[in-house]
């Protein structure tokens, strides 16, 4: 084996996005060891059918450029929300003529408001590429680790070519939720993810998940799709994620409204996640409404960017009688503000239906903030006896945990979170590399791998 090539294309192209997968990719790449056991480790991107070594993951030193990229990311999110609004309006419309008129109006308005500005921003970004990456020639025996989100990528045919040239392919899998719980996503994303999983089933030699729970799910899914014998020709492993918030700045200002929230004597319970259906914010509101009705003075702080299929939830929050009294929402917090929230909250609450890992749990608990989570396998894997768990079918179970904690001051977990320990991003990156190499090296180079050649 020659080198380990760790791919980070989406984060390289969108350096200001700071959601779950992008946070993982950025931190793993930042902490990527130069070499392990004599094997060189290189961050790479694939752009327009070519392979590049990353010299600088994100542009630095140009405030105007940074501001432009930040504006571009926000404009992209706004464009997606505008598309969702148009799609919902189109589905409600029964007149064929009106639907056609709406479609034309949408195309023209989207072109002016989003497409043209985003293309101009991309053109500016292209000028920075020579400073941030350099062409790299692949070699037989290289191992390409697909770390970034690639189900929407356009480089899959290029990966197939690399495989035909003798490059091994390793896929990092964050979760299988679009396959196991498609109701939480748009149909198009489910289709894209399913097609991508079919592709990595045919293409990858090994799979690294971000938890033992997901590793077992991936092995089971492959066995169902291709049979035990074929699945046995692949290898499966996992690594755990780190916990540091790497985008903090000493001179950054904490969100004033957030800071005022934590200056009050009432306890604040914090929820950190993208606003989307599987995070189960409705359950959270149901539970806290019960706690408030029972006399709780707790405040609920919801932090997370606006995602998809959440219009009803947002409307419920906006019209809630406790909004800005005992219920607060923040949709664009910096890492500095998020660190402040973790450091001053009474507990984290995380009622998610399903997760691949649950990064906010680790971020909170590593800072000594106790966590209450839904009773699902992955949270048991991460939190063990240090977390308190509630029943997703009974909001009262969370309400009771909040009330008991508020009244007794004793967090309702078997063990004290102060005794809980977790790895940082440096160890997480090392885990990914070491476990990948361990599995790749365990496979004899002369062993026949029927799936290793793409048509």
Digit-coded pLDDT (tens) for 188-225? 889 989 999 999 999 999 999 999 999 999 999 999 99
Name which of 16-25, 47-56, 306-315, 430-439 the model is least confident about.
16-25
97-135 pLDDT tens trace:
787 887 788 788 877 787 777 777 666 666 566 678 899
Res 452: pLDDT: 41
Checking if the pLDDT of 67 tops 70, the result is no
Res 261: pLDDT: 93
Residue reference for tokens 């992955």: 378
Checking if the pLDDT of 295 tops 50, the result is yes
Q: Under a CB-based contact definition with an 8 Å cutoff, are residues 179 and 217 in contact? A: no
Q: Is residue 287 part of a domain?
A: yes
| pLDDT, average across residues 13-26 | 80
Q: Which of 10, 307, 18 has the alpha carbon at shortest distance from 149? A: 10
Checking if the pLDDT of 388 tops 50, the result is yes
How many other C-beta atoms can be found within 10 angstroms of the C-beta atom of residue 127? 9
Checking if the pLDDT of 349 tops 60, the result is yes
Same domain, 213 and 110: no
Question: Taking the model in full, what pTM does it have?
Answer: 0.78
Residue reference for tokens 């571009």: 72
What is the average pLDDT value for the chain, to the nearest integer? 87
Q: What is the spatial distance between Cα 102 and Cα 272, in angstroms, rounded to a whole number?
A: 36
Q: Which of 160, 156, 124 has the alpha carbon at shortest distance from 9? A: 156
Q: Is residue 248 part of a domain?
A: no
- End-to-end CA, the chain: 23
Cross-strand bridge partners of residue 146: 7, 171
Same domain, 91 and 220: no
| pLDDT, average across residues 12-27 | 81
Q: Under a CB-based contact definition with an 8 Å cutoff, are residues 121 and 115 in contact? A: no
Checking if the pLDDT of 141 tops 80, the result is yes
Note down the domain range covering 202.
Answer: 3-58+138-242+426-452
Checking if the pLDDT of 319 tops 50, the result is yes
Of residues 286 and 125, the one with the higher pLDDT is 286
Same domain, 112 and 82: yes
- Cβ-in-10-Å burial (0-12, 13-18, 19+) of 253 comes to exposed
Same domain, 297 and 381: yes
Number of domains in the chain: 3
Q: Which of 180, 181, 193, 185 has the alpha carbon at shortest distance from 150? A: 193
Res 447: pLDDT: 46
Q: Is residue 84 part of a domain?
A: yes
Same domain, 190 and 323: no
Length of the chain: 455
Q: Under a CB-based contact definition with an 8 Å cutoff, are residues 279 and 351 in contact? A: yes
Same domain, 197 and 300: no
* Token couple for 147: 């770390």
Of residues 179 and 112, the one with the higher pLDDT is 179
Name which of 114-118, 281-285, 345-349, 415-419 the model is least confident about.
114-118
Same domain, 12 and 82: no
| Confidence class for position 22, pLDDT limits 50, 70, 90 | confident
Q: At which of 80, 112, 131 does a domain end? A: 131
Find the farthest-apart pair of alpha carbons in the chain and give their distance in angstroms, rounded: 69
């Amino acid at each position: 084996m020659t080198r380990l090539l760790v791919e980070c294309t989406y984060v390289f192209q969108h350096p200001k996005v700071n959601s779950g997968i992008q946070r993982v990719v950025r931190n793993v790449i930042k902490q990527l060891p130069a070499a392990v056991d004599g094997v060189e480790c290189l961050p790479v991107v694939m752009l327009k059918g070519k392979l590049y070594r990353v010299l600088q993951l994100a542009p630095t030193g140009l405030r105007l450029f940074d501001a432009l990229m930040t504006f571009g990311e926000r404009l992209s999110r706004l464009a997606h929300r505008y598309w969702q609004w148009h799609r919902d309006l189109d589905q409600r419309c029964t007149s064929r003529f009106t639907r056609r008129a709406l479609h034309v109006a949408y195309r023209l308005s989207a072109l002016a408001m989003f497409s043209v500005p985003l293309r101009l921003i991309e053109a500016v970004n292209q000028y920075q590429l020579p400073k941030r990456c350099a062409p790299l020639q692949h070699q037989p025996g290289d191992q390409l680790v697909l770390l970034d989100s690639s189900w929407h990528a356009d480089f899959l045919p290029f990966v197939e070519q690399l495989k035909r040239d003798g490059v091994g392919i390793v896929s990092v899998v964050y979760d299988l939720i679009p396959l196991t719980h498609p109701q939480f996503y748009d149909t198009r994303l489910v289709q894209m993810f399913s097609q991508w999983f079919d592709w990595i089933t045919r293409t990858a030699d090994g799979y690294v998940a971000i938890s033992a729970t997901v590793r077992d799910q991936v092995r089971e899914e492959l066995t169902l799709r291709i049979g035990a014998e074929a699945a046995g020709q692949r290898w499966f492993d996992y690594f755990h994620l780190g916990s540091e918030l790497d985008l903090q700045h000493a001179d950054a200002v904490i969100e004033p409204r957030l800071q005022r929230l934590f200056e009050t004597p009432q306890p604040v319970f914090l929820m950190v996640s993208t606003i989307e259906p599987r995070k189960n914010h409705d359950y959270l509101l149901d539970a806290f409404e019960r706690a408030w009705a029972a006399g709780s003075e707790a405040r609920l702080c919801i932090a997370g960017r606006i995602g998809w299929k959440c219009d009803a939830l947002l409307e419920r929050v906006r019209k809630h009688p406790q909004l800005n009294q005992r219920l607060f929402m923040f949709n664009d917090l910096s890492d500095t503000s998020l660190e402040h929230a973790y450091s001053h909250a009474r507990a984290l609450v995380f009622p998610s239906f399903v997760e691949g890992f649950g990064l906010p749990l680790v971020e909170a608990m590593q800072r000594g903030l106790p966590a209450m989570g839904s009773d699902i396998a992955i949270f048991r894997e991460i939190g063990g006896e240090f977390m308190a768990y509630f029943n997703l079918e009974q909001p009262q179970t969370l309400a009771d945990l909040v009330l008991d904690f508020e009244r007794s001051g004793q967090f309702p977990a078997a063990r004290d979170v102060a005794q809980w320990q977790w790895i940082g991003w440096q160890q997480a990156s090392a885990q990914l590399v070491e476990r990948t190499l361990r599995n790749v090296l365990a496979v004899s180079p002369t062993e026949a791998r029927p799936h290793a050649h793409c048509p």
